[in-house]
Each structure stands twice: as structure tokens, then as C-alpha cells.
């Protein structure tokens, strides 16, 4: 055997071994770890896993809820499907799944269209908002308002996770020459992501492992969102409780152990057992700031434990969460992530809980809401990317309000082609223009551009397509966390309203050929 043949065989062997490790072993291990991450964390891993696990059988009436974070904060799948299933016959009951991640644009939808069809949904409900069309890339020029297609393309190539991590193969196939002309090294980067899952997923492959480790060995002391039992008085999403609260704890046996965080040295904490009668069972003053275990023993075996907590030192949100709130909120102690639950649960990454973070807004008078809103969304001297985007979108809406007619750009084309692709494959699409904060919508809602935008959405497809404008669904700005994300309670109301519209389409015969 010649030396060249030996080298070739070694190369082929190494390549096959690499592909086995990367494409089979690595991917299987990546999605075999229990996913104990909570709502809205590691969004790219969670989307990949969710997309991998969605499977509708031929006999199921599967419905995909599609969209960006605006969809995630606008509709709750369980409430939507429960409302529909209370109305339709048993044979027509639906099962609903999210197909959503942050900043999902019409161009993303276009590249996901084949995967969406592979899930075999009977219908797609697509929640969309003007912000999803990447308004921040609009710019004023001497010729008038223009969409910066080059700027969006360069962003897609260099930093956009969707293009680089979720569909680099499809994007590279369509744009390899443009990428090469833009930057040869970027073409090489895309090629490496196309070949290797390890290269593509390296930025988040350890996320589920770290969550599992933290739960087992750190007892949920490092986390983004709370997953424990919600106190009677409510909970802030990062686990801060009110200075005084009641909570029902799960317990098995006569011992209960959990952990809390004390912010202010010298804090005194009292714990009362409420039933069968109120009695003080814990009283301690903590000399230092930090996490502490609570260990309580009881003479009898218990399954449920109703407790009341009182802490004597208040904590200001401005001290610990200055980025999250505008006006000040008052905390007591912080609870461990799974406080009062007996075990950590899986598959919560698309499960939203009610939090005081957004319910606080609903009771605010107009002037207080405006003050809080401006401090949270439009505060000065803040370089956070999300907030900068809000500012750019607001400026873009102001520019659109001056336009004498509707004009589209590439994102409209992608939306058009994606919806036609599904319609041609007998998958109806119900497109909903999502609710928009009246505080923001008023800037451009009466403009010729906006009226043309609604006209465009209404007429995308002549078959297997419906459009509904929900932008005015809520006339109180207090139902919005920002320009277009709903509070939890308003998302409950929106979910039921969307379900009603879905039922109306069902009754009209929109789905009849699919036997839904």
C-alpha cells in the first residue's frame, strides 16, 4: 500500500471518527441532559431542544404558536388550547406548542419553513409586531427613508445567533458569495459551523449541565428566574419576596431544609407555622450578608407545611436590581430557586409564571407608570443593547409616521414567501398583529405607512390564510411591560381572545379540509 493511500485512509478514518463524535455522540449527549433551566434562559439551547422535541402525529390536531419574544410574552399555550378545547368536539381538540425564540424575524421564519412543515402541524398561529421587521435598521437619507439592507446583512453575518447557530447551512447556501465579499474569515466561520455541531453550539452546550449541577450541589442559589412555590403575596421573578409573606411548602417526613439570602447584616427573621395554630418556630438574627440554610424539624410526619415569614429589614430594588425597575420596589429576603418544592422540575424553559415585576405596573396611575416606564425603557446613559434597540425603534416609528405611503423591505418579502410556502402545503396560517402599547403606537398608528402595513398583512395569501389586527386589544398602557411585551395577566386575557378568534376561523370552515 502506497504512502499516499495510507495518508488518505488515515484522513478518511479521522474524518469519520470526528463526524461520529460530533454528529452522533455530542448531539445526543447535548439533548439528553435533563433540562432544568427556567423561563427565558439560554434561549438558543432551549429553542433547539424544543424544536427537536416537537412532534405531531398524523392523528393529532397540532397547532404551532410562532413568533419572537413578543409571542412568548403575548400568548400562553395551555390557556389558548384549553379555551379552544372547551368549545370544539372531542375529535377536534388541539395540542399547542411554541415555536419561538427572542428576535425571531420574518427572515428566520423563512429559513425555518421546511422544519415547521416537518412537524406536521394542522395550523400555525403567527404573532407578529412591526418591531419584528427590524425597524431599527431604517435610516434617514437625502433621498428619504431607506432600509439599511447591508447593515442588517452584516449584522446577520457577524453577530446574529439565528444565522450563525440555528441555520448556518441554509444561510450559507443562499449568501456564500456575499459573505465572501464581505469578509473571507466569516465565510470560514460559517463553514466550520456547518460542519461541526461542537463549534456551532459551544457557547451554550454547558448551560443545562451547569443548571443541573447548581440544583444538586448549590441548592438553587444561582439562577435567573424563580421556580419555587409562589407565596400568597406574590414573588419577584428573581426570587425576592415581600418583607412579610405566607407560603405553602411541600414536605415529605418530619424535616424541612431550604435556603435563603440575607441582604442586610443584622436582619432578624421570624418564621411562624400557621396551622393548626400560629406558633413561632424560628427566630434568628443574621450578622452577615449571604446565603443561609433553614433547617426545621417537626415531631410528626408532614406532606404540607403552611408558613409565615417576617423579616425586619427592608431591601431596596435600587440597591440590588437597579436595571430592572424604574421606581423603587421593597424586598425582604431572597428565596432559593425552588423554594418549598420537594424536587426540581424539568422542561420549564417555555413556562411563564406571574411575577410582581409586571403585575406592579397594572395598579400604577398614569403619571407613575410614565415615570417608571421612562426610567426602565428610555433612561439616559445606558448602553444595554435591548434598551438601545427600544430607542431606535421609537425613532424609526417617528420617521415612518411622516411617510406618504407604505414601502416594504426584505423582511416583508420573507414573510410573504414563508406564508405562501405553508399555504401551498395545506397548512393554514392565522397571522395576528400583536397588541402594542398605546403609549408607543400613537406615534405612527394614523400614518399612511401604518395603514399600508396593515393592508399588506391582510392580503399576503388568498388561500389557507387569515389575518387579525390585535394592536388595539388593550387600551391601557399599564398592561404592557414595554412597547410590545404584555404583563402576565394581560397575556392570559390575550390568549383567551386569540383562542376565540381561532374558534371563529374553525367554525367558518377555515380548517375543514384538514378535518380539524
**3-state secondary structure labels for all residues of 97-110:** EEEECCCCCHHHHH
Residue 268, C-alpha cell as written in the block? 432578624
Contacts of 159 (CB under 8 A, 6+ apart): none
Sign of CA dihedral 243, 246, 251, 255: positive
Q: What is the pLDDT of residue 22?
A: 65
Residue 371, C-alpha cell as written in the block? 415615570
How far apart CA 79 and CA 86 sit, in angstroms, is 11
Q: What is the pLDDT of residue 7?
A: 61
Torsion of CA 362, 366, 370, 372, to 10 degrees: -50
- Residue whose C-alpha cell is 452522533: 24
Q: What is the pLDDT of residue 313?
A: 94
Q: What is the pLDDT of residue 513?
A: 39
Question: End-to-end CA distance of the chain, in Å?
Answer: 64
Q: Per-block average pLDDT, block size 10, for the chain (516 residues)? A: 63 59 72 89 93 92 96 96 93 94 97 97 96 94 88 93 91 90 84 80 86 84 92 96 96 89 96 90 95 90 90 94 88 95 90 94 95 88 68 94 93 97 94 96 95 96 92 96 96 97 84 42
- Report the DSSP beta bridge partners of residue 261: 291, 334
Q: What is the pLDDT of residue 385?
A: 60
Q: What is the pLDDT of residue 512?
A: 44
Half-sphere exposure of 107 (CA within 13 A, CB side): 18
Q: What is the pLDDT of residue 220?
A: 82
Contacts of 208 (CB under 8 A, 6+ apart): 33, 34, 35, 36, 37, 42, 45
> Could you give the 3-state DSSP secondary structure of residue 363?
coil
> Using an 8 Å Cβ cutoff, are 360 and 328 in contact?
no
* H helices present in 103-239, as ranges: 106-118, 149-158, 161, 168-182, 184-195, 197-201, 207-217
Note the pLDDT tens digit of each residue in 156-186. 999 899 999 899 999 989 998 998 888 888 8
How far apart CA 152 and CA 158 sit, in angstroms, is 10
Q: Write the burial class of residue 473 (CB in 10 Å: 0-12 exposed, 13-18 middle, 19+ buried).
A: buried
Residue 13, C-alpha cell as written in the block? 478514518
Q: What is the pLDDT of residue 516?
A: 34
Residue 81, C-alpha cell as written in the block? 388550547
- Report the DSSP beta bridge partners of residue 467: 431
Amino acid at each position: 500500500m502506497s504512502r499516499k493511500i495510507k495518508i488518505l485512509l488515515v484522513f478518511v478514518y479521522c474524518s469519520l471518527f470526528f463526524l461520529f463524535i460530533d454528529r452522533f455522540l455530542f448531539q445526543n449527549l447535548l439533548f439528553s441532559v435533563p433540562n432544568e433551566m427556567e423561563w427565558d434562559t439560554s434561549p438558543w439551547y432551549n429553542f433547539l431542544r424544543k424544536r427537536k422535541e416537537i412532534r405531531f402525529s398524523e392523528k393529532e390536531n397540532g397547532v404551532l404558536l410562532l413568533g419572537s419574544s413578543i409571542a412568548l410574552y403575548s400568548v400562553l399555550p395551555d390557556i389558548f388550547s384549553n379555551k379552544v378545547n372547551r368549545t370544539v368536539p372531542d375529535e377536534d381538540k388541539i395540542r399547542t406548542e411554541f415555536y419561538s425564540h427572542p428576535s425571531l424575524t420574518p427572515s428566520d421564519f423563512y429559513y425555518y419553513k421546511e422544519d415547521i412543515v416537518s412537524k406536521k402541524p394542522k395550523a400555525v398561529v403567527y404573532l407578529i409586531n412591526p418591531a419584528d421587521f427590524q425597524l431599527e435598521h431604517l435610516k434617514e437619507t437625502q433621498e428619504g427613508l431607506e432600509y439599511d439592507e447591508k447593515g442588517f446583512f452584516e449584522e446577520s453575518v457577524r453577530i446574529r445567533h439565528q444565522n450563525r447557530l440555528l441555520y448556518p447551512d441554509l444561510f450559507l447556501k443562499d449568501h456564500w458569495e456575499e459573505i465572501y465579499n464581505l469578509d473571507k474569515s466569516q465565510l470560514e466561520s460559517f463553514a466550520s459551523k456547518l460542519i461541526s455541531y461542537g463549534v456551532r453550539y459551544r457557547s451554550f452546550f454547558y448551560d443545562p449541565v451547569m443548571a443541573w449541577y447548581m440544583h444538586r450541589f448549590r441548592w438553587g442559589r444561582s439562577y435567573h428566574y424563580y421556580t419555587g412555590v409562589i407565596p400568597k403575596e406574590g414573588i419577584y421573578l428573581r426570587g425576592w419576596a415581600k418583607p412579610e409573606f405566607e407560603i405553602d411548602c411541600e414536605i415529605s417526613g418530619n424535616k424541612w431544609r431550604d435556603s435563603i439570602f440575607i441582604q442586610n447584616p443584622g436582619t432578624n427573621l421570624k418564621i411562624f407555622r400557621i396551622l393548626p395554630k400560629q406558633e413561632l418556630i424560628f427566630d434568628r438574627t443574621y450578622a452577615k450578608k449571604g446565603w443561609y440554610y433553614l433547617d426545621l424539624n417537626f415531631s410528626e410526619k408532614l406532606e404540607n407545611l403552611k408558613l409565615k415569614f417576617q423579616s425586619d429589614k427592608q431591601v431596596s430594588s435600587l440597591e440590588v436590581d437597579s436595571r430592572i425597575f424604574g421606581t423603587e420596589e421593597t424586598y425582604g429576603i431572597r428565596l432559593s430557586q425552588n423554594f418549598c418544592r420537594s424536587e426540581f422540575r424539568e422542561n420549564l424553559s417555555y413556562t411563564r409564571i406571574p411575577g410582581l415585576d409586571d403585575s406592579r405596573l397594572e395598579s400604577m396611575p398614569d403619571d407613575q407608570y410614565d415615570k417608571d416606564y421612562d426610567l426602565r425603557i428610555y433612561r439616559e446613559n445606558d448602553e444595554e443593547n435591548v434598551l438601545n434597540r427600544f430607542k431606535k425603534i421609537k425613532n424609526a416609528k417617528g420617521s415612518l409616521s411622516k411617510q406618504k405611503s407604505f414601502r416594504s423591505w426584505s423582511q416583508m418579502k420573507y414573510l410573504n414567501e414563508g406564508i405562501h410556502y405553508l399555504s401551498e402545503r395545506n397548512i393554514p396560517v392565522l397571522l395576528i398583529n400583536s397588541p402594542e402599547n398605546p403609549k408607543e403606537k400613537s406615534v405612527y398608528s394614523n400614518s399612511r405607512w401604518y395603514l399600508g402595513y396593515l393592508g399588506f398583512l391582510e392580503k399576503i395569501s388568498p388561500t389557507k390564510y387569515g389575518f387579525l389586527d390585535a394592536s388595539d386589544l388593550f387600551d391601557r398602557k399599564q398592561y404592557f411591560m414595554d412597547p410590545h411585551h404584555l404583563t402576565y395577566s394581560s397575556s392570559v386575557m390575550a390568549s383567551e381572545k386569540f383562542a376565540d378568534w381561532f374558534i371563529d376561523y374553525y367554525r367558518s370552515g377555515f380548517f375543514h379540509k384538514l378535518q380539524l
